[in-house]
Structure 1
Amino acid sequence: MLVLGNPKNKQINIPMKTKILLILCLFASVAQAQFVTNNKRVADVYFQNKEYYAAAEYYKKALQISADSVGFIVPYGFENKIKEESPKKDDYEYCVFQLAEALRLYKNFIDAEKWYAMAKDFTNPKYILSTFWYAETQRSNQKFEDAIASFNTFLEKYNVKDGYAAKARTEIASCQFALNELRYPRLFRLSRLQNNINDKGSNYTPTIKGGNFYFTSSRPIGSSGKKEVLSDKNVKVAKKETPFINAVYVATGNPLTESISIRKTAVDGAAKESAAPAFHPNGKIAYVTSWTALGNKKIYQLNATPGVGKDWSEPIELGGQINVKGFNAMQPFVTRDGKYLVFSSDRPGGSGKYDLWYAPIRTDGSLGLAVNMGKVINTPDDEEAPYYNVSTKKLLYSSNGRVGMGGFDFFESEGDFGKWTEPRNLGYPFNSSKDDLYFTPLDNADSEGYISSDRESVCCLEIFHVKREFLVIQGILLDCHTRKPLQDATVTLADSAQQFKFTTDENGQYTFKINSNRGFKLTAEKEKYFSKNISFSYDQLAQKDTLFSPELCLIPYEIDKPIVLKDVLYEFNKADLTEDSKGKLDYLYTIMVDNPTIEIELSSHTDSKGGEAYNMDLSERRAKSCVDYLIGKGIPKNRMTSKGYGKTRPIAPNEFPNGKDNPAGRALNRRTEFKVTKK
């Protein structure tokens, strides 16, 4: 007999069928309760399988369950009521930290920042990295000054000698770089594609072939999604649908229009998941990244798919020279001349995590041994998504191991697979505080194309159209004396990151086209002329698309030929420079700064009035006062000598032929000169 309590404490006889039904309901209730109390464990299983979105949802459920219904879970806001050694506190802190981790790993940095803000205050040392990741999410959310403060806090309390301290210092430099980039943005125009290319899931690796737009997407595939069971030894997780499969798609038409036809391609064959197609210029081979299983791990490998147009054969795995067992190879790129396959891999022999490698493509289509692109390009972190222009010899790729805006940034280097220049960050807004990868061009100059970025998303990469804009600087270089054009002079334009040189034509003209308006210096040089520098600030350039500088002229000179410094005057009968004269000497100061290798003699002369010894002494003191003034402004003493000539070197008559005084002539003789003694 089953006995149940009732308000009057009487026994009630229940028929057997009813008993069985009640027992089943009770078991169902217990089973349901057990499933709810396992939210933390369910979340852990999803997390271990890198299903971070699902993991985050279950960590949220665990944190929202009341303390009365589940013994080991504490709801948000109850932390102050828990004793230090309480197991409730341990599980609560664990779920908060894991929730922050899951949110960060599926790139929801806005919500991740909120949970790291809580986790960073936990005293348990196993959560000490919370402060580091809190700073990272602040940086991703463009709170650069706050991120700098948080990284410094992390460095103050983190004493472990590993990569996190070095990474924190790099991130501080990146935040400072980003603040400067936001203040002085580069000349790029970006726009997110507004059509169905950017559908659900991630959309990335844009590639153009034969007028068609290929890209990778993890958008839902209705019937191809398979049910999976995730579990561990402690808990069985409910079956999950996995409709988000990475696959290669092709869009027919202009990707910049609002509506476009999209279909899944056969370029990846029967592969469960694949991405990042790269087409050989002969159009007969496509190289594709495919996912393969190695035990419980997912491994990326490169396959080659023969075929033409829609008729693609089944992909063929590339050999061991590309795919090293147990390691990843991904993101292929084929140079326009068909000579090299460039890719990213974490195989042995690199500088760190993912490095860029290249393999020669032989005339028969076979591949040679892969070669690492070297430490100028690769860092201890990740280098991915290579693109190389054989015409300009410029390599464009993404790295998260250098100072930049944050996440993966685009960098540019020049070289020919043997030697590379130091990579240059392409700056904001080409780069953002999140991940920016996969450039593909629309023209041979790489001035327009597509990139992938999650800058406007809370989780996923999207495809953007990008176009470089340019500031044009034009001018004519003249001889300051004759006003005639100077041909074959060198004009150099330099900013903080790069410089360009131009040789003037027969009309003295020069033209520059640059992708920056953040301020620069223009330097004009020609043999037997003083070089000249002109600087332009960001404020002068910010609202312009063309800058004309027609009045740039150079002053000629000859070694040991004196040049008069006009209107350099002194106090009466003294060697002291007048204030106006100091301004005139600044002209010579500028020449000395613009021409840092020349050495000069600075001399002073008097007229015929007064005794010879007196005039010699006065002129010596006046010449020295000029040199002292320039030394005071920072010109090195060893580049200048002073000399007084008194009245020994007149350049005009002090008297007329009839013996009368010539005031105009004497005025010319009272002068200060300089001459170049060494180039």
Structure 2
Amino acid sequence: MRISNYSKYFLLAAVCCGVMNATQAQFVTNYKKAADDYYAKGDYNSAATYYEKYIGAKPGAKDGYDPYIIQKQGSSGSSTDRSDIFYRIGESYRNLTYYSSAEPAYKQVVDKGAAKYPLARYWYAVCLRADGKYQEAQQQLEQFIADYSADDVYKKQAKQELENCKFIQQQLASGSKTSVQKLDSGVNKEGASYAAAWVNDNTLSYTSTRGTYTNHIYVADAGLLSFNGLDKGQQGAAAFSADGKQIYFTAWDAKAGEGKKITAIYTAKKAGNAWGQPVLMSNTVNDPSYSSRQPFVTADGKYLLFASDRPGGMGKFDIWYVLLNANGTTGKAVNAGNVINTVEDEEAPFYHQASGKLIFASNGRTGMGGFDLYESKGTPEAKWEAVVNLGAPINSVKDDIYLISKQDKELLAEAMISSDRSSACCLELFAVSKPIEVIVKEPVKEEPPVVVAPQETPKPQVVVEDNKALLQHVLFELNSSELDEAGQAQLKEVAVYLQNHPDVKVEIGAHTDATGTKELNLKLSQSRADACVKYLAGEGIDAKRLTAKGYGDCCPLEKETADDGRDNPDARAKNRRVEMKVL
């Protein structure tokens, strides 16, 4: 049978189309395999690119094309497969902090009701909050909390995010005279620029990727700060001694797919115009199995503060510090404690010597989202006061971290922060300026002094009502079980009461505030109750008549957190109390 030339051409075209379709299908399959491999290695940028190729997404395409509307491509899998792909696209972009790209991917999963990915709604809400859609984020968080059955860290974080949404809207409604301005392109080049530090009064350094995936330390107007003999490919987050002759910095290697990234702190000294070979700091700073990073040396040179996820902390990354000895050695690493640290991350410490304030970033407190900047007054060797959020516009709905300031000026008079508020992906440097308010006082007319006869201080009485007495003068400092003079004076009156009522047995119950974990608070309250009973026994009261009981933070007298998320230190002080109960 003869086949006409027309039929031959038709058959040839059909065969070519079949080969092309098969080849295209193979390309699509290869896209998914490549994406899966990149995702497993933690290379989220490449993973997102190839997943979008697999589903037919065309980055930057116009003419009404939306890569997040499912297209008809039979070769790229079922709708169930697509939920898997969209979830991984969302996860990839979220891990890159590309929230605006992650948001529509998570929305696809949420809209399909994929029970396989219950966390998709939570991450969708986080992306909505990061994109400034607070009401929508609030609705999604409330829905997630209602639907999510597990009582785990994600439900806790969702409740925190819900408080964040309310806090954000309150902050944005309030006015502020503080100015936050992005630095020019001379510093903020393509990629990340962050973690500024003063080398001296006039020279600024910072960390930058300069459009690559490699972090290096740069000095303004001088370029790359290089070291000889350093075997780590990435360096950043530096701090300098007050004289500018010693540097402390973080170094690490970043290789996708090789497990946990361990960062460590190095130091080097300057000889002339060149930096000497960096030295890995001692094991009191660096634990070989855990990360230490973001060092800061205090202006007086006494302490090195840093962040670490080593054991013995309150959560993930905590703020720690060591004493810097004159002979170059370091003291024991000390955790900054549960006033500063939470179960989440606290990072990037900065201590402003003039104001006596510790500034740090945290993602474990009520804030505006991501990392916020907070302050606490105190010193490493003393107690830290209640932590306060620095508020808008210093904090934004994205990550705000690495605050530095000139030590000889007001904290916010000439400061810098790192933030990704105006970037799709990366931290950039911003200048912070808050005008100093000058208060002019009217001259006070002098009056002749008034002489007041000294009066005897009344003794603290013990008033028993309904078989109970609040020992209002037995108060404790934060994290302390030591009795002060006022507390001892009132316990003397308790001893008098018990001596006048020899048949009475009592329970001394101690309470803490809600700072810290339940376990730690229970232990602390028991030690406070024990201290009171020990004092009464020393006053001659039979120990068999006394019971010491610690209640922890179970029963507060007043609410310790205001509606706007700020701590109420007066309420915390009142909740740290001791009560006597007649048995």
Which category describes the TM-score, using the shorter chain as reference length? 0.5 to 0.7
Q: Which of the numbers 411, 419, 431 marks the counterpart of 1:465?
A: 431
2:281 matched residue in structure 1: 318
Q: 1:426: which partner in 2? A: 390
RMSD: 3.4
**In structure 2, how many angstroms separate the alpha carbons of the residues matched to 1:195 and 1:124?**
44
Deviation at 1:164, TM superposition (A): 1.0
**2:206 — aligned with what?**
215
Alignment match, 1:442: 406
User: Are 2:97 and 1:97 equivalent residues in the alignment?
Assistant: no
1:342 matched to which residue of 2? 305
Aligned partners of 1:6, 1:167: CA distance in 2, in Å?
A: 71
Q: Which residue of 1 is the match for residue 97 of structure 2?
A: 107
The answer as to 2:205 corresponding to 1:244 is no
Q: CA 1:436–1:309 in 2, change beyond 3 Å: closer, same or farther?
A: farther
Cα distance between partner residues in 1 of 2:235 and 2:229: 6
Q: For 2:308 and 2:166, how far apart are their aligned partners in 1?
A: 30
Q: How does 1:107-126 map to 2 (within 5 A)?
A: 107-126=97-116
Please tell me whether residue 368 in structure 1 is matched to residue 331 in structure 2.
Answer: yes
User: What residue is the counterpart of 2:26 in the other structure?
Assistant: 34
Superposed displacement of residue 77, structure 1: 3.7
Deviation of 1:165 after TM superposition, in Å, equals 1.0
Which stretch shows the higher mean deviation, 162-171 or 47-56? Answer: 47-56
What letter matches 2:376 in structure 1? S
- State the AA in 2 paired with 1:469: P
Partner of 1:380: 343
8 A Cα contact 2:353 2:407, kept in partner: no
Summarize deviations over 1:164-210 as a string: whole Å, max 9, x none.
11111111111111111111133211110113210011100101113
Q: Which residue of 1 aligns with 2:164?
A: 174
For the Cα contact (< 8 Å) 1:344–1:385, is it kept in 2?
Answer: yes
The CA deviation at 1:5 is: 11
Does structure 2 conserve the Cα–Cα contact (< 8 Å) formed by 1:289 and 1:300? yes
Instruction: Report the equivalent of 1:53.
Output: 45
* CA deviation after TM superposition for structure 1 residue 366, in Å: 1.1
Higher Rg: 1
Match of 1:455 in 2: 421
Once residues 247 and 354 of structure 1 are traced to their aligned partners in structure 2, the CA distance between those partners, rounded to angstroms, is 22
Q: Which amino acid aligns with 2:110?
A: K
Distance 1:105 1:362, change over 3 A: same
Offset at 1:472?
A: 4.4
Unaligned runs of 5+ in 2: 59-66, 451-583
Supply the AA of the counterpart residue of 1:390: Q
CA distance, structure 2, for counterparts of residue 432 and residue 219 of structure 1:
24
Post-superposition CA distance 1:519-575 (Å, at most 9, x none): xxxxxxxxxxxxxxxxxxxxxxxxxxxxxxxxxxxxxxxxxxxxxxxxxxxxxxxxx
Q: Cα distance 1:360–1:32, how it changes in 2: closer, same or farther (>3 A)?
A: farther
Structure 2 residue aligned with 1:274: 235
Higher relative CO (Cα under 8 Å, sequence separation at least 6) belongs to: 2
**Distance in 1 (alpha carbons) for counterparts of 2:98 and 2:392:** 21
* Secondary structure, aligned partner of 2:263: strand
Alignment check: 8 A CA contact 2:227 2:278 kept: no
Amino acid at match of 1:248: I
Judge conservation of contact 1:406–1:433 (CA < 8 Å) in 2. yes
Q: Which moved more, 1:376-385 or 1:293-302?
A: 293-302
Inter-partner Cα distance in structure 1 for 2:4 and 2:265? 69
1:608-631 deviation per Cα after TM superposition (whole angstroms, max 9, x unaligned): xxxxxxxxxxxxxxxxxxxxxxxx
Structure 2 residue corresponding to 1:165, chosen from 129, 137, 155 = 155
Counterpart of 2:567? none
Distance 1:394 1:46 in 2: 43
C-alpha displacement of 1:149: 1.4
User: Would the aligned equivalents of 1:250 and 1:265 in 2 still touch at CA under 8 Å?
Assistant: no
Q: Distance in 2 between matches of 1:177 and 1:33?
A: 50
Among 146, 163, 174, the residue aligned to 1:156 = 146
Give the 3 Å change call, closer, same or farther, for CA 463–293 of structure 1 in structure 2: closer
Q: How is 1:247-258 mapped onto 2 (pairs within 5 angstroms)?
A: 247-252=216-221
Q: Secondary structure at the match of 2:294?
A: strand
The correspondence of residues 487-526 of structure 1 with structure 2, limited to 5 A, is none
One-letter amino acid matched to 2:352: N
What amino acid is the match of 2:430?
F
Matching of residue 416 in structure 1 with residue 418 in structure 2: no
Alignment partner, residue 401 of structure 1? 364
Provide the secondary structure at the position in 2 that maps to 1:38. helix
Residue 309 of structure 1 and its aligned partner are, at CA, apart by: 5.3
**Cα gap change, 1:88 to 1:318, in 2 (>3 Å):** same
How far did residue 264 of structure 1 move?
Answer: 4.2
SS in 1 for 2:91: helix
Alpha-carbon distance between aligned partners in 1 of 2:422 and 2:108, rounded to the nearest angstrom: 25
Q: Alpha-carbon deviation of 1:401?
A: 0.5
Paired residues of 2:198 and 2:239 also in contact (CA < 8 A): no
Which has more strand, going by share of residues?
A: 1
The Cα of 1:247 is off from its aligned counterpart by 0.7
Instruction: Measure the CA separation in 1 of the matches of 2:123 and 2:296.
Output: 33
- Give 1:380 deviation, angstroms: 0.6
Structure 1 Cα separation of the partners of residues 430 and 277 of structure 2: 31
Shift of 1:392: 2.0
Counterparts in 2 of 1:267 and 1:469: CA distance versus 1, 3 Å:
farther
Between the aligned partners of 1:267 and 1:149, the Cα distance in structure 2 is 54
CA contact (8 A) 1:209 1:279 kept: yes
In 1, Cα distance between equivalents of 2:4 and 2:356: 86
Mapped partners of 2:219, 2:52: distance in 1: 38
**Residues 88/361 of structure 1: CA separation in 2 closer, same or farther (3 Å cut):** same
Shift, 1:125, TM fit:
2.3
Partner of 1:303 in structure 2? 266
Deviation at 1:475, TM superposition (A): 4.9
Query: For 1:259-295, what per-residue CA distance to the aligned partner results, in whole angstroms no more than 9, with x for missing partners?
Result: xx53343389453111111112343321111114795
**190, 193, 212: which is aligned to 1:200?**
190
Shift of 1:124: 3.0
Output the amino acid matched with 1:143: K
Paired residues of 1:288 and 1:304 also in contact (CA < 8 A): yes
- Percent identity between matched residues is 36
Task: Look up the match of 1:359.
Answer: 322
The alpha carbon displacement at 1:323 in A equals 1.5
Contact between 2:249 and 2:295, CA under 8 Å: does it hold in 1?
yes
SS at match of 2:285: coil
Change in CA separation of 1:76 and 1:114 when aligned onto 2, cut-off 3 Å: closer
CA deviation profile, 1:417-451 (whole Å, cap 9, x unmatched):
13101110010001111011111113522221211
- The answer to whether 1:63 aligns with 2:27 is no
Any unmatched runs of 5+ in structure 1? 13-21, 67-74, 221-242, 253-260, 479-483, 490-679
SS at match of 2:111: coil
SS of alignment partner, residue 181 of structure 2: strand
Asked if 1 retains the 8 angstrom alpha-carbon contact of 2:348 and 2:402, the reply is: yes
Kept in 1, the 8 Å contact 2:68–2:104? The answer is no
Give how far 1:76 is off.
5.0
SS in 2 for 1:126: coil
Q: Following the alignment from structure 1 to structure 2, what is the Cα–Cα distance between the partners of residues 426 and 308?
A: 39
What is the CA-CA distance between 1:250 and the residue it aligns to?
Answer: 0.8
Q: What SS does the corresponding residue of 1:357 show, helix, strand or coil?
A: strand
CA distance in 2, matches of 1:141, 1:472: 38
Distance 1:471 1:212, change over 3 A: closer
